[in-house]
């Protein structure tokens, strides 16, 4: 069974919500975050008071693809990849969901797209993400 996981980017502070802890560096300002079954971002307040986040546009939710790269790093929606098929370090491909093929895609800057395939996962290398850029 595929593991269903998400990561959440907070646009205001320009950082990911910490894995397994689900809060930013100032927990009192954000509280715990969860993703509801319908994709709603839910904030847990004091005394187990749960409500939808009042400013959902301040967050970007990204889903885990179920694949890992050649360094055993999880590949998420929005990650930037190099692969054996595309080693252009100036233009890594971006991972996104494709409605046409109902699956994960790699998108090239020239507009071409192709499927993100498990059979090729050992050729992929995560080099960054759309929010933080390419790791140097």
For the stretch 92-105, pLDDT in tens is 999 999 988 899 99
Q: In the structure encoding, which two tokens stand for residue 43, read together?
A: 């904030």
In this predicted model, which residue has the larger pLDDT, 69 or 26?
69
Residues 15 and 17: their CA atoms lie apart, in Å, by 6
Domains along the chain with CATH numbers: 6-59 (no CATH), 64-131 (2.30.30.290)
Quick one: 30 exposed, middle or buried, by C-beta within 10 A (0-12, 13-18, 19+)?
buried
Whether this prediction's pTM lies above 0.85 is answered by no
Residues 4 and 74: their CA atoms lie apart, in Å, by 12
pLDDT above 70: percentage of residues in the chain? 71
């Amino acid at each position: 069974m595929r593991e269903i996981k998400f990561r959440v980017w907070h646009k205001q502070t320009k950082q990911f919500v910490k894995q397994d802890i689900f809060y930013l560096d100032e927990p009192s300002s954000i509280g715990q975050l969860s993703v509801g079954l319908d994709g709603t971002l839910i904030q847990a307040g004091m005394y187990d008071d749960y409500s939808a986040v009042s400013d959902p546009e301040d967050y970007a939710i990204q889903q885990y693809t179920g694949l890992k790269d050649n360094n055993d790093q999880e590949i998420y929606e929005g990650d930037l990849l190099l692969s054996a098929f595309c080693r252009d370090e100036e233009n890594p491909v971006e991972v996104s969901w494709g409605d046409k093929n109902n699956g994960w895609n790699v998108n090239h800057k020239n507009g071409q797209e192709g499927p993100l395939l498990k059979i090729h996962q050992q050729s992929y290398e995560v080099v960054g993400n759309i929010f933080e850029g390419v790791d140097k």
